[in-house]
Structure 1
């Protein structure tokens, strides 16, 4: 007897390419292979002690029950203070902020709230692998605006407008960008804002790498003139505070939109973890020195990786302004596409990296390598890649 089919919404959705590589690397390790993983953006630092102490104290005191769906009031207030101080956003925490179990869920809630069947989400690429899947899960269609490596993957008004249609409902902007490491310049931010205002579009801005920034000033699009009422700002704790496993994020939005987003939250996860939120409160209100220490270490690792890769024939690796990745042009290696190169690299060098094609049309000819690992792992990975390339 034939089995019932799953929903048609999954027909255009593939598994996450980064998780697929992680799974393959884990499988090879289980077979006894020594795999160096530069695929994922997982900080190797422990969560700072004052944050884990707060989470532990919450658990020990029995703080393990539901919280308000929007989030703990003290955490909402702390997020509001952070957004005002760092981003110039004056918000009502009780009506315009929602605490979510991960920034990823905040993005999903945003997409589900703004988009539906027949709508289009415009995504400049290269961009994070999950954006198109989220649009499709909402019944909408992702439309890619491929950026060019020749101009440093920079956004322009012309590039955005040429991809607009009457069905375009929102833009999704990642600033700083994963995988390129670009920080949105004032000119680029103005271009996005002017397109959104002139064409009456929503903007979702993913700012998860805001604190992992080495050069450039961070611009929150919601703070620009005429943008507060049309921008949803997503951020979280994973990258800045090495809290990836805690799964904690948030989204700030206009009050009327936030009220609708809360329905998605309530009918999916209900609320973020109670003791996890206590840890998040400690992260924002406690010492911020750990962020600077980690950022300094990341900058040193970035320089080590970029310098090492740039010495390998066929590699062209600009130094990123932010985030945790080197985005390297490997067209000089002789490989036809980045997917075949990453497969070859995993087999021959036992180094896991991500093909640039996973990040959309703008990622062709590139691979992404994370420098979230310790310096020895990065040095060993470069040596392995160089040795494998020398054997070609």
Structure 2
């Protein structure tokens, strides 16, 4: 057999962030002392009331199949949250699906929307999996390159320049990984008008929705009248509730789209874990003080680390408005590319970072630094990194 694997996978790359996590583990296992600033896993424990709800479900023997749509009480909690926080109205019985991770929700949404050859606009720098997911779904990713000079603003002109008759959808991610941008009202109005004028589907990944700083407000595209009936809104529990290993998310949207996503879910993973969903109910209905404490600590990390970076000659870094990353511009330091910089930091400083090139066009010349580790780790990592970069010529 000449071809034992699917030809389509030749165009799909491994996840850069997962590969870096593996590298950090391997270095530690070999005895190397490294600080990992490449990951996106909150160091906090899952809130106690969430753990208790899941344990109670296990003790009750609640370990069997649920509806592929998810537990009714969790779907109701999701739609109440969408209405209360974002002004988005959805029917819990027909317009929301609970998924095993927000990542799967994005993938299932793309599978439900795309036909072979459909083009998908992806503003970049962007999370590493969007491009690969579009390819797996048979579509063609079309990067919309954003620029650090205007703080990665997504304008009407940039969108329109990439439109063709084959453009089917756009993937949005606010707050943004890796840049920390939160879309402004003018940006969202431009997006809403463009997608309505060209009949595009919006897949809006809002997994960092609770992690915003200062007076910044996160708004969902689905709250705009032009987008309400063309937007699939994705979110989950990993970042807000420190539940990365639980693999729990959701997608909401118009009934036509959600029914299509349901087919993908039914014929792939089936449904999210039963007792895990009970934990999700507790997360959404319980005390949100743990979430506030997490965001407060990320804010302290953000301000301190931003100040450290901006003392390094040649580095420029915008203060992020949301998420828990910094995305400094290191292009003036003289590295040939961001991958070379990342490898040098491992070798010289023992710090693992993500090269900006992993995030597509617009990411080159930057590195992504995570604020999610414990404070001592963040301080050690940034001190090592800044000391090393200050000496590089």
What TM-score bracket applies, with the shorter chain setting the length?
A: over 0.9
Is 1:385 matched up with 2:385? yes
> SS of the residue aligned with 1:14?
coil
Cα deviations by residue, 1:191-220 (Å, 9 ceiling, x for unpaired): 110000001110110000000110421111
Cα deviations by residue, 1:106-128 (Å, 9 ceiling, x for unpaired): 00010000012110010000110
- Separation in 2, partners of 1:29, 1:388: 20
Cα deviations by residue, 1:32-60 (Å, 9 ceiling, x for unpaired): 00110000111000000000000111111
The alpha carbon displacement at 1:243 in A equals 0.6
Which residue is equivalent to 1:292? 292
Unpaired stretches in structure 1, ≥5 consecutive residues: none
Q: After alignment, is 254-263 or 310-319 more displaced?
A: 310-319
The alpha carbon displacement at 1:286 in A equals 0.7
The alpha carbon displacement at 1:382 in A equals 1.9
Preserved contact between residue 151 and residue 318 of structure 2 (Cα < 8 Å): no
The alpha carbon displacement at 1:383 in A equals 2.1
- Separation in 2, partners of 1:140, 1:322: 29
Cα deviations by residue, 1:163-185 (Å, 9 ceiling, x for unpaired): 01111000100011000000000
Cα deviations by residue, 1:95-154 (Å, 9 ceiling, x for unpaired): 000000000000001000001211001000011000000000011110000001111100
Is 1:303 matched up with 2:303? yes
Is 1:30 matched up with 2:50? no
Which residue is equivalent to 1:257? 257
Aligned CA RMSD, in angstroms, stands at 1.0
| Structure 1 residues 117-196: aligned runs within 5 Å | 117-196=116-195
Which residue is equivalent to 1:239? 239
- Separation in 2, partners of 1:178, 1:309: 19
Which residue is equivalent to 1:9? 8
- Separation in 1, partners of 2:286, 2:2: 54
The alpha carbon displacement at 1:4 in A equals 4.0
- Separation in 1, partners of 2:357, 2:345: 16
- Separation in 2, partners of 1:84, 1:225: 14
- Separation in 2, partners of 1:154, 1:271: 37
| Structure 1 residues 39-188: aligned runs within 5 Å | 39-188=38-187
Preserved contact between residue 313 and residue 332 of structure 1 (Cα < 8 Å): no
- Separation in 1, partners of 2:389, 2:233: 42
- Separation in 2, partners of 1:387, 1:118: 48
> SS of the residue aligned with 1:361?
coil
Q: State the aligned residue count.
A: 391
Unpaired stretches in structure 2, ≥5 consecutive residues: none
- Separation in 2, partners of 1:379, 1:219: 32
- Separation in 1, partners of 2:97, 2:227: 19
Preserved contact between residue 115 and residue 138 of structure 1 (Cα < 8 Å): yes
TM-score after normalising by structure 1 = 0.98
Cα deviations by residue, 1:24-81 (Å, 9 ceiling, x for unpaired): 1111111100110000111000000000000111111111000000000010111111
> SS of the residue aligned with 1:139?
coil
- Separation in 2, partners of 1:179, 1:89: 26
| Structure 1 residues 325-336: aligned runs within 5 Å | 325-336=325-336
> SS of the residue aligned with 1:142?
strand
The alpha carbon displacement at 1:186 in A equals 0.2
